[in-house]
Chain A
């Protein structure tokens, strides 16, 4: 079974029961300096482990780029 989410507007599959922490752990190298928004709400770092992702969730992962 898989969870189908949207990650930064692209389809992304995760194992059932996956959390935000699990999503991030899938990235290599590990992203530094990111923020996670699920369905428009910011997920604090402290809640990465406990925030479950479910089918249809809109997930945005953001970071800093150079800007003026």
Chain B
């Protein structure tokens, strides 16, 4: 399949927000694209518009050479003919059909034997063997979610839309299914758009919308908003005081940082830094390739899995993630003095538009 899925549309809810989307996803090779965004920002709405369940007020959607939607021309291909698979946020299983019939629902044209074979294989694959004869209401939440997934996958659609496909699953099963899902998608060669809140899911499954490969987005969020969403803990307004040789010197609170500066950096910036890029030491230690080396005081310690979150005062609020053994070895405790190290390349500068970034949500 050549070409790309191009969508550029907006949907107004009377008395509600306007949801807009502009995206272009190459179909060849098929990729998994991740839609990331805070609760209520319109992710489900975008999927529904792509599926043909919701009609945008403006814009167009094309899938390769085929026009799926064009507001100006009044074109809208019905959902049935878009050849998609959709996993709904709350599953939408058919309550009157058993699991096998739910999964086989979209295989109408196929010989019965082939149908049965495929359904059984898919149930097996998703750990649902033995539940073929149950009704949805006799399944747990996670089992229901897997049935919904099976129902969409078994048809081998030409575009897969997944709204939080793994949210109801426990960690182990989610890890297993995430890999399974990636395998299935790669194998079947199905371009996919996934809505997820789980950063690991986003990373394993595909690239984040509108911003290139996943790692890129996490490191270099395009806006303060995205920075917040992908979980960049430290977001502080700063002022660029000098730039030379591609390195900016930035004043943040009472501290000075070095950061790799892209072209056209304004004076007022938002300094973004991920907690796991910060290394803590007891002593300042010898000089090295690490550019930023700040004296800091431990303010708070919050144990979490797999890392402990350390809140620091380094002239500005700074967060670091450290492993538990490191935390113990360093004897970290509130009030202790440490040195925080991080590379200039780990600091990401965003234009700052006045509003404090922390309240951007």
Query: Are A and B part of the same complex?
Result: no
Chain A interfacial positions (CB closer than 8 Å to B): none
Chain B interfacial positions (CB closer than 8 Å to A): none
